[in-house]
């Protein structure tokens, strides 16, 4: 499905997994993540998370967006982990 350089993979941290987005996520200036390289996606998009501890930071994942056939679209970037996203959502709700 996706082809990677095995040397590069061995240097990445954390686990890898596939996930379907349950909500929209838009990279913006108010995000606590570094704006450069952040990945935006829509509800229903399928992502391949190749690092659940991106650059040694807990709560920050690196993912690739996949098309309807499971092929990499070439779009990739960082996003908050599920737990971090929940906390950010609650903060937005109560502010």
The structural domains of the chain, with segments of one domain joined by +, span 16-94
Range 78-87 contact pairs with CB under 8 angstroms and sequence separation of 24 or more:
78/33, 78/34, 78/37, 78/38, 78/39, 78/54, 79/25, 79/33, 79/38, 79/39, 79/41, 79/47, 80/25, 80/32, 80/33, 81/52, 83/59, 84/59, 84/60, 85/23, 85/25
Stated pTM of the model: 0.70
Please check the confidence at residue 3 and state whether its pLDDT lies above 50: no
CATH 3.90.1150.10 fits 16-94, yes or no: no
pLDDT in tens, 25-76: 887 655 555 556 889 999 999 999 998 888 887 888 899 999 999 999 999 9
């Amino acid at each position: 499905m996706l082809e990677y350089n095995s040397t590069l993979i061995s240097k990445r941290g954390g686990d890898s997994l596939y996930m379907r987005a349950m909500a929209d996520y838009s990279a913006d200036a108010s995000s606590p993540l570094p704006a450069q390289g952040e990945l935006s996606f829509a509800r229903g998009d399928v992502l391949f998370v190749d690092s659940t501890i991106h650059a040694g930071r807990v709560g920050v994942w690196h993912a690739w967006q996949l098309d309807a056939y499971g092929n990499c679209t070439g779009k990739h970037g960082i996003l908050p982990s599920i737990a971090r996203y929940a906390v950010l959502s609650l903060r937005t709700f109560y502010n």
